[in-house]
């Protein structure tokens, strides 16, 4: 069926699958590996990753990046965005990647400011 053609390569063509079902299992294996890495890092918490980078631990940055990687493959391969037309891809993804970072930026910056006010003000919050 022409309407259900699938693009069968992931990792920018590095890994090509013979059928859609094979690709699904391949993506599952990849997602499982990423999740396992996350869990192992979360349990052992290596000392050298606990240094701060941009106000957050390096370990937390790694977790967030790995989460985005997982989100990409769930959306692209399980939700078939990879097979959609460019216009639909853009309609779905662009609002999210514009609005969400904007929201994060504003609220986290504000939270950091409030923390500073509470931390350095004369009022004690520990009573």
Partner 1 sequence: MELTAAEKEANLWSGGQRPLNASYGKLMMWFFIVSDALTFSGFLVSYGFSRFKNIDSWPIADEVFTHFPFLHGIDAPMYYVALMTFILIFSSVTMVLAVDAGHHMNKAKVTFYMLLTIIGGAVFVGSQAWEWKNFIKGEYGALETKGGQILQFVNADTGKRVAIGDFAVSIPTERSTHKGSNGIWYQGEGSLPSYSVAEVAQGFEANENLVIRSEKLDENGHKIVLSRDESLDKIDSAVGVVEGANLIHNEYGNRLFADFFFFITGFHGFHVFSGVVINLIIFFNVIIGTYDRRGHYEMVEKVGLYWHFVDLVWVFVFTFFYLV
Residues that bind partner 1 (CB under 8 A): 1, 3-4, 20-21, 24-25, 28, 31-32, 35, 38-39, 42-43, 50, 57, 60, 63-64, 67, 70-71, 74-75, 77-79, 84-85, 87-88, 91-92, 95-96, 99-100, 103-104, 107-108, 110-112, 114-115, 118-119, 125-127
Q: Rounded to the nearest whole angstrom, what is the least distance from the CB of residue 2 to partner 1 in the complex?
A: 11
Q: How many CA atoms lie within 13 A of 19 on its CB side?
A: 2
Question: N- to C-terminal Cα distance for the chain?
Answer: 69
Q: Rounded to the nearest whole angstrom, what is the least distance from the CB of residue 11 to partner 1 in the complex?
A: 18
Helix axis angle for 20-44 and 58-73, nearest 10°, is 170
CA distances from 1 to 6, 9, 22, 97 (A): 11, 19, 18, 33
Closest to partner 1 by CB, 15 or 114: 114
Closest to partner 1 by CB, 2 or 14: 2
Q: Are 29 and 18 in contact, with CB atoms under 8 Å apart?
A: no
Closest to partner 1 by CB, 13 or 55: 55
């Amino acid at each position: 069926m022409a309407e259900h053609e699938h693009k069968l390569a992931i990792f920018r063509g590095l890994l090509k699958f013979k059928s859609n079902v094979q690709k699904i299992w391949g993506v599952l294996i990849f997602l499982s590996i990423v999740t396992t890495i996350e869990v192992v890092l979360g349990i052992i918490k290596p000392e050298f990753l606990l240094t701060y980078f941009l106000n957050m631990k390096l370990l937390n940055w790694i977790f967030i990046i790995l989460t985005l990687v997982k989100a990409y493959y769930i959306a692209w391969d399980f939700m078939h965005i990879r097979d959609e037309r460019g216009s639909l891809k853009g309609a779905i993804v662009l609002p999210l990647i514009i609005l969400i970072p904007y929201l994060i930026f504003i609220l986290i910056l504000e939270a950091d400011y409030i923390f500073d006010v509470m931390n350095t003000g004369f009022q004690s919050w520990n009573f």
